[in-house]
Structure 1
Amino acid sequence: MTILVVGANGQIGRQFCQLAQDAAVPFRAMVRSTEQQAWFRERGMDSVLADLEGDLDHAFDGCDQVLFTAGSGPRTGPDKTLLIDLHGAMRVADLAKSKGLSRYIMVSALRADDPLRAPEKLRPYMAAKKAADDYLKNRGVPYVILKPGRLTDDPATGRVATSVKEAGDNVVSRANVAAALLYLVRTPSLVNREFALLDGTRTPEEALF
């Protein structure tokens, strides 16, 4: 049940990898450079060099699921948003399909459903996320799409919600996202589902079903 973690060097990606290692869940961290790879090697984590804008196929060898938590980041422009958040996610979906992977778990965004309602500077990112989600849903790959709200660096509570009405706010800690992803990875019966994710009062087991 090895899962390829695309975007492993990101803030959510690293936290997920640490949780997966602690839980003895097999994974492979995909990173772009040897400098990024050092963090994973120091912790005895399996990693592979690959690039969403370049050679990618080999990273999937021996994996049966993929987790996409990559992002172009706030310091880049719309060009990288298109290449990473949209085209990169689509390339991963194509490879997941061609290699017969059992699931593609996508980290999307809460406002991706309606990009024009997002703050103006975030609209290109939300539009890319919506297009990538729609592509995945129509690609024929079993999927789970997780849509976190506004991300914080608060510590994990292990308690989440699946709507703004339930949560009373639109925020979720990266640590709670990582914990929810670990639950999803370990629950292969969940397929072709979408979930909003916010800080709340329920465990992932209670909220994501």
Structure 2
Amino acid sequence: MNVFVIGANGQIGKQLVERLHEEGKHQVTAMVRKQEQLDDFTSKGYQAVLGDLEGDVSSLEQAMSGMDVIVFAAGSGGSTGADKTLLIDLDGAAKSIEAAKNGNVKQFVMVSALKAEDRSAWPEEMKPYYVAKHHADRLLEESGLTYTIVRPGALTDDAGTGKVKTGDVSTGEIPRADVAAFLAHLIGHDAAHNQAIDLVKGDTAIEDTL
């Protein structure tokens, strides 16, 4: 399958691109915002295109033309304000969903956040981020696309363990490497279709999930 990773220069996105490229089961294309990022990916033998989530829908649609699976792993980052969170995490996701609908993709995978669906669980200091994730998820669920929403717990830079816990999870953390591995696992997996999956570190091998 042709997999298109939005936010490929982010910490999860970059690891996902590398993993998919190494596994060789799918053709992966990285979408990045800057020319130097594109040059870095292509110098490693990866397929990459330029795209801007603050641009228009038609340019995103053109960038993802011919893709079977879209993975939205983009984020404005913790150092930006609520304005960028709104523009990237919410409106960037909304534009990507719209472009994917126009392109008839087979699966749209959204990287969300644990408890994004539950307003009562949102920490006060991160409310703009959770608002963006909440509404981006709802837009995807209501889009008519075949979707998978992955809601990881608190992200860490620890080495991946290859083991996770899914299901009804109230709290927990997970290495970004394991999130990337789980995303790679679920691509094209029918059991992941139209599912929202909570994800933290655990005792189940990733290949045994779903």
Q: What band does the TM-score fall into relative to the shorter chain? A: over 0.9
- Decide whether the 8 Å contact of 2:61 with 2:103 is kept in 1: no
Deviation at 1:163, TM superposition (A): 4.7
Q: Quick one: distance in 2 between partners of 1:74 and 1:84?
A: 12
- Decide whether the 8 Å contact of 1:163 with 1:198 is kept in 2: no
Render the CA deviation track for 1:7-44: whole Å, top value 9, x for unaligned: 00000001001100110121110000111112211210
- Could you tell me which residue of structure 2 aligns to residue 204 of structure 1? 206
- Could you tell me which residue of structure 2 aligns to residue 10 of structure 1? 10
Deviation at 1:61, TM superposition (A): 1.5
Task: Report percent identity of matched pairs.
Answer: 42
- Decide whether the 8 Å contact of 1:4 with 1:59 is kept in 2: no
Q: Does the residue aligned with 1:61 lie in a helix, a strand or coil? A: coil
- Could you tell me which residue of structure 1 aligns to residue 141 of structure 2? 137
- Decide whether the 8 Å contact of 2:89 with 2:129 is kept in 1: yes
Q: Quick one: distance in 1 between partners of 2:157 and 2:117?
A: 24
- Decide whether the 8 Å contact of 2:66 with 2:103 is kept in 1: no
Q: Quick one: distance in 1 between partners of 2:178 and 2:190?
A: 19
- Could you tell me which residue of structure 1 aligns to residue 19 of structure 2? 19
Q: Quick one: distance in 2 between partners of 1:173 and 1:130?
A: 22
118, 122, 128: which one pairs with 2:126? 122
Render the CA deviation track for 1:162-203: whole Å, top value 9, x for unaligned: 1576xx951000000000000011424531011000000002
Q: Quick one: distance in 2 between partners of 1:97 and 1:184?
A: 20
1:28 lines up with 2:29 in the alignment: yes
Deviation at 1:136, TM superposition (A): 0.5
Q: Quick one: distance in 2 between partners of 1:9 and 1:37?
A: 9
Q: Does the residue aligned with 1:104 lie in a helix, a strand or coil? A: strand
- Could you tell me which residue of structure 1 aligns to residue 197 of structure 2? 195
Render the CA deviation track for 1:60-85: whole Å, top value 9, x for unaligned: 11211100000010111111111111
Q: Once superposed, what is the RMSD of the aligned Cα atoms?
A: 1.5
Report the TM-score when normalising by structure 2: 0.93
Q: 141-150 or 168-177: which moved more?
A: 168-177
Q: Quick one: distance in 2 between partners of 1:29 and 1:164?
A: 31
Q: Does the residue aligned with 1:112 lie in a helix, a strand or coil? A: coil
Flag structure 2 segments of 5+ consecutive residues without an equivalent. Answer: none
Q: Does the residue aligned with 1:3 lie in a helix, a strand or coil? A: strand
Report the TM-score when normalising by structure 1: 0.94
Q: Does the residue aligned with 2:189 lie in a helix, a strand or coil? A: coil
